[in-house]
Amino acid sequence: MPNLKPYTDQASDAIARLTGMRTLRCPAPGCTLRIRYRAVSPDEADRLAALAHDHTRHGIRK
Ligand SMILES: [Zn+2]
């Protein structure tokens, strides 16, 4: 049995893919923001993607 504990994060991403869940990550260096969603409308998905990719909208306080 392989030890899966170090790969919890990757495993949760794999599970997210299997369940149809999407994960958005902020491209800003050092920013760990993630937004996960599932079964939203295309418009809502666009809004969430815009929010995740615009670091100024969630990275103001530091
Ligand atoms: Zn960010």
Q: How far is the CA of 35 from the centre of ligand 1 (A)?
A: 11
Indicate whether 4 belongs to any domain: no
Q: How far is the CA of 48 from the centre of ligand 1 (A)?
A: 13
Indicate whether 8 belongs to any domain: no
Q: How far is the CA of 1 from the centre of ligand 1 (A)?
A: 37
pLDDT, residue 24, reads: 92
Indicate whether 6 belongs to any domain: no
The total of structural domains in the chain comes to 1
pLDDT in tens, 7-40: 677 887 777 677 778 889 999 999 999 999 988 8
Q: 29 lies in which domain range?
A: 25-62
DSSP of the chain, one letter per residue?
A: ----GGGHHHHHHHHHHHTT-EEEE--STT---EEEE-S--HHHHHHHHHHHH-GGGT----
Q: Which residue has the higher pLDDT, 21 or 43?
A: 43
Indicate whether 40 belongs to any domain: yes
